[in-house]
Amino acid sequence: MSSNLPGARIDAAAEAWGAALRRIAAADPHMRQEAAGNGTYMVVTGSPAGSVNGVFTSALRPDAGRIERLAARTPGAAESFPGPVSWCVQVRSDPDGRVREVARRHGLTKRTQEPFMVRDLRGVPPVPDGAGDLEVRAVTGAEHDLYVRVLADGFGVPKEIFAPLFTPAVLDAAPDITAYVGEVGGQVVATAMTILTDGHVGIFNISTVPGHRGSGHGRRITEEAVARGWAAGARTAYLRSSDMGLRLYRSLGFDVAEHWTYFTGE
């Protein structure tokens, strides 16, 4: 299924995703970012995850020269962080040979695609399903370690993937960045995050820890995140989905707008 939103609104949502990543980088003075125009920018967060470091573009027709200019600077920025920092080149479309060549020259030869999904929030406001026993609340930087630990558990990865990215400074960057946890009987079992920019709410970090999956917690916390974004003024929601998450997000009114291409190292 493709999105029925007009192209201009999809463009705006893609730009909002980039603005959200840059907002995270701006919240923590240790992170690095640089713009090259034409919707092309570098962000290096210090996380080992390649998908949140590198050169990104929101332009439908990516400029290979601008991408190359920032790609040449990204390794130096990555080396300023302790530990290995992988990075990527990301474009919205199926890239042409010039972009592929830039990625190849920098050793980014693994190519993957990921769905970018959008939801129109105009009209009937999103109302979370009140059923279930999950209580959703916002957290601050004081609970940084809890948030990172549960998020890592939910994604089945080491907490070192998320710790450099969701720092106390980032979690305290309210009101535009808000981290959420979902609790059952006082135990934190689910996570989410929203980032608000220019009438858009980005939905990030939807996870449920093992042992609590299949209970609707992912749906419940996503619904709550979307509804809180709408209450704060957003009229478009967007997210990047794994293939596994497509069914859930489609059932919540999100449609696949595009498939974004990522070039990473092997």
2 pLDDT more than 80: no
What is the Cα gyration radius of the chain?
A: 18
Domain residue ranges in the chain: 7-117, 135-234
Is domain 135-234 annotated with CATH 3.40.630.30? yes
Q: What is the pLDDT of residues 205-228, one digit of tens each?
A: 999 999 999 999 999 999 999 999
What mean pLDDT is predicted for residues 46-52? 95
130 pLDDT more than 70: no
132 pLDDT more than 80: no
Residue 4 is predicted with a pLDDT of 79
As a whole number, the mean pLDDT across the chain is 95
Residue 71 is predicted with a pLDDT of 98
Q: What is the pLDDT of residues 100-120, one digit of tens each?
A: 999 999 999 999 999 999 999
189 pLDDT more than 90: yes
Q: What is the pLDDT of residues 144-185, one digit of tens each?
A: 999 999 999 999 999 999 999 999 999 999 899 999 999 999
Residues of the chain above pLDDT 70, percent: 98
Residue 131 is predicted with a pLDDT of 59
Confidence label for 1 from pLDDT (cuts 50, 70 and 90): very low
What mean pLDDT is predicted for residues 63-82? 97
